[in-house]
Amino acid sequence: PFLAIGEMLKKRGHSVTCAFPAQFEALVSDTGLQFESLGSKFIELLSSDTGKAAMGGGARGLRKILAIIRLARRQKPSSREMIQRQDEIITKLKPDRIIHNGKAMVPLMWEVDHEQCTLCVSPVPYLHYVKGHTHVAFNSNYGEFLNKYTFKIADWGLIKTVISSARWLGKKKLSKKEVKKALRRHKIIYTISPSLFSRPPYWPKNMQVLGYQEREKATNWSPDPDLEAFIAAHDKILFVTFGSMLNPDPEVKTRIILDVLQDQHIPAIINTAAGGLIQPRGYRNELVYFVSSIPYDWILPRVYAAMHHGGSGTTHLAIKYGCPTMIIPHIIDQFVWNKMIFEAGIGPLGIQIGKINQRNIAPKIMELMHSQNFFEKTKAISDVMLRENFEEEIYQAVINSV
């Protein structure tokens, strides 16, 4: 959502700088927004074998636990690099407002002395208390008392990290009370469709749910004629992508899906993207078309259903364009989206990436492609999402105090 909000602010005459990991510089440059690098170490760590094993893939049991421990140990240099860069960029730019995600520590330090000049944007639900749910990191339901406690645990960890980060940067000493106050008062926007996640009436007024923010349509891209011919030749196409998610066994995962598609005669477009899916060497099948990248706003209106990793943006776009959806979750919030999609009646409950096999995924894909209930429910929610427009509310949240 950050690029979409940045583009909106630029159109309204504001100067916008995006501080992202170095790997996203080209993406930001395409928008015409200014770019500042947060370094490359964080994304490199996630792309490493350790990162792949910890964030889903085929790692299970002890191997996954060890991978998570190794990732945590190796994360310190990348986290410090990002914190240092955030501080340097804020010092250099002297911004009027900072729009940030929940993982950025320095904006919360800045909020202590710049009341309501920061805006936390979250494309994932359950970072703040909602009855009947745990914090997104826990993804469960332990009963009301323990559910509330998971949010307190998350806040405690965040406050502790902000204080220690300020100490490491050599900033003035921050008290727990100061950081907690900043955390409670700063503005928070969930960029999630209210048709999927409605705002609890007991939330304070500085916390809002203001819909999915879609970027400008793709303009510098045109489809290959063979792709257009494939789409014209087939009905009820399944779109498959794992987006930026990686796993240790991409060919194994891809072949599982290909075998089901072949057995059930389902035409599909498979987006290999970051490499979580790959085209097996020498593989040819007239029912399957591989692409290495494709604009979702172009392909989703042209297919029947989608099977993907469960990123917030991909989930919203698939539903917005009327595609029954099944999620193959890899990490944290994707398990929440999986459950949310299933409970909304938009698609079957997906299977996490490390546990899929031909036997358990085949009936799920068949249900996804042939359930009239999924199609009708998706269409109803799509109609609502297509009418949503929260641009003015987001703009006012950025420029005004609560």
Co-location of 181 and 248 in the same domain: no
Is the domain of 319 the same as that of 379? Answer: yes
Q: Give buried/exposed letters for 97-106 (b at 16+ CB in 10 A, else e).
A: bbbbebebbb
How would residue 174 be classed by pLDDT, with cut points 50, 70 and 90? Answer: very high
Predicted confidence (pLDDT) per residue in 222-250, tens digit: 999 999 999 999 999 999 999 989 888 99
This prediction has a pTM of 0.91
* Number of domains present in the structure of the chain: 2
Q: What is the pLDDT of residues 72-116, one digit of tens each?
A: 777 778 888 999 999 999 999 999 999 999 989 999 999 999 999
SS3 343: helix
Least confident of 40-49, 66-75, 124-133: 66-75
Q: Which of 161, 137, 132 minimizes the C-alpha distance to 148?
A: 132
Predicted local confidence at residue 100, as pLDDT:
98
116 and 133 housed in the same domain: yes
The DSSP 8-state label assigned to residue 353 in this structure reads G
| Helix H or strand E encompassing 28 | helix 25-29
CATH number at residue 377: 3.40.50.2000
For 183-195, write each residue's pLDDT tens digit.
999 999 999 999 9
What is the span of the domain harbouring residue 350? 225-387
Q: Looking at the structure, do residues 200 and 338 belong to the same domain, yes or no?
A: no
Q: Do residue 303 and residue 379 come from a single domain?
A: yes
Token digits for 148? Answer: 């509330």
* CA neighbor of 378 nearest in space, from 388, 393, 368, 391: 368
Mean pLDDT of the chain: 92
Judge if 201 and 346 occupy the same domain. Answer: no
Task: Assess whether 229 and 377 both reside in one domain.
Answer: yes
Same domain, 263 and 362: yes
**H-type helices in 344-371, by residue range?**
358-370
pLDDT, tens only, 302-317: 999 999 999 999 999 9
Q: How far apart are CA 123 and CA 212, in angstroms?
A: 8
Instruction: Identify the bridge partners of residue 118 per DSSP, sorted by sequence position.
Output: 98
Please tell me the predicted confidence (pLDDT) of residue 189. 98
Residues 393 and 341 in one domain: no
**Residue for token pair 């320095």:** 106
Task: Output the CA angle 276-351-235, nearest 5 degrees.
Answer: 75
**Cα distance between residue 257 and residue 392, in whole Å:** 42
If we measure between CA atoms, which residue out of 268, 276, 355, 261 comes closest to residue 309? Answer: 276
Assess whether 173 and 58 both reside in one domain.
yes
The answer to whether residues 33 and 47 belong to one domain is yes
User: Could you tell me if 112 and 88 lie in one domain?
Assistant: yes
